[in-house]
Amino acid sequence: METGIKGTRTVVVTDEMTAEHVGSGMLPVYATPEMIALVENVASNSVAPYLEEGTGTVGTKINMDHVSATPVGMKVTVETELTEVDRRRLVFSVKAYDEAGLIGEGTHERFIIQNEKFLGKAQAKLDRK
């Protein structure tokens, strides 16, 4: 996998995507957790075609500034670019826009994992509780 892989996705903000609805605030504006989820979705999907069979990626770190509020009904577009590949570690530059301009920017880190091994380790936690 090489740097430069880009991803993009546009959504229309609905009532279900607001801070008021998801519990991250009290106002009917695009929620930060929704923006983060969209960033992870776009980054993950952008590199998926380049992964070996049986592997996937998991998000491990995100550093985003949410700099502007977006009302219900407005489009939000997230753009990601893979800027660093360090063995299994992938780092993305991310930006989010609404129809009026920049609403968020930062970085996102994902790791390439073996799907079955990863799930096995997660499931093993149940045996230890």
Residue of 18, 34, 57, 66 marked catalytic:
66
Residue of 34, 40, 79, 109 marked catalytic:
40
Cα–Cα distance list, 117 to 49, 61, 120 (Å): 20, 21, 5
Q: Is 98 helix (H, G, I), strand (E, B) or coil?
A: strand
16 is catalytic: no
Burial of 124 (0-12, 13-18, 19+ CB in 10 A): exposed
32 is catalytic: yes
- Distance, in Å, from the CA atom of 77 to the CA atom of 41, rounded to the nearest integer, reads 12
Sign of CA dihedral 108, 65, 16, 61: positive
Residue of 20, 21, 32, 55 marked catalytic:
32
Enumerate the active-site residues. 32, 40, 66
